[in-house]
Amino acid sequence: MNLNRATIIGNLTRDPEIRNTPNGVTVTTFTVATNFIWNDPNGQRQEKVEFHNIVAWRKLGEICGQYLKKGAKVYVEGRLQTREWVGQDGIKRYRTEIIAENMIMLDRANNVSPINNITSSEEPTIINTEESNPAPTDNPSSVNNNEVDEEEIKVENIPF
């Protein structure tokens, strides 16, 4: 059995960047910061910030690009994927990303309930596009529109 799941709650470090592949598929990228706080052996409070690269495809990407802004608190669930490429300088580079499958906006300013108050009867609050995410690929432009049918998300059904 294998499992590839990533779940984070944090704040956006910048506004999302929306692009379209040559085939017209929407892909949105953004970064979420999470904090780890602990006391060192001397009792001093320490803090470390981690930055997570997030990629959201299709409808979820459109929604993230439209509603998320720098500083927003967000819950993101997805899978880890590492891409590799050769830079212009000839050096092989790697980037590990979370391919978002679910996203919940946690800021009260968006009139969305905090995650601990969400129940299964409030499914429209959770945006799930697991079925519409492309298979792992090193090149987002290689995605074609015939891969997976998207589950239709209507704007009037989004609670924010």
What is the tens place of the pLDDT at every residue in 8-22? 999 999 999 999 999
As a whole number of Å, the CA-based R_g of the chain is 17
Range of the domain at 143: 6-151
Residue 147 in any domain: the answer is: yes
Residue 158 in any domain: the answer is: no
Q: How many structural domains is the chain composed of?
A: 1
List the one residue out of 68, 81, 61, 80 whose CA is nearest residue 32: 68
Question: What stretches of 41-147 show up as alpha helix (H) in DSSP?
Answer: 58-67
Residue 88 in any domain: the answer is: yes
Residue 7, both tokens: 């779940």
Q: If you average pLDDT over residues 107-113, what whole number do you get?
A: 55
Cα within 13 Å of Cα(98), Cβ side: 21
pLDDT of residue 107: 82
Residue 133 in any domain: the answer is: yes
More confident residue, 78 or 112: 78
Residue 34 in any domain: the answer is: yes
| Residues forming a β-bridge with 47 | 37
pLDDT of residue 109: 58
Residue 41 in any domain: the answer is: yes
Q: Tell me what the pLDDT averaged over the chain comes to.
A: 78
More confident residue, 145 or 60: 60
pLDDT band at 141 (very low <50, low <70, confident <90, very high): very low
Residue 159 in any domain: the answer is: no
More confident residue, 122 or 94: 94
Q: What is the CATH number of the domain that holds 18?
A: 2.40.50.140
Q: If you average pLDDT over residues 144-156, what whole number do you get?
A: 45
pLDDT of residue 120: 31
Strands (E) across 58-91 are located at 73-86
57: Cβ contacts below 8 Å, ≥ 6 apart: 25, 26, 27, 28, 99, 100, 129, 132, 133, 134, 143
Task: Tell me the CA distances in angstroms from 55 to 26, 104, 118, one per residue in order.
Answer: 10, 15, 24
Residue 101 in any domain: the answer is: yes
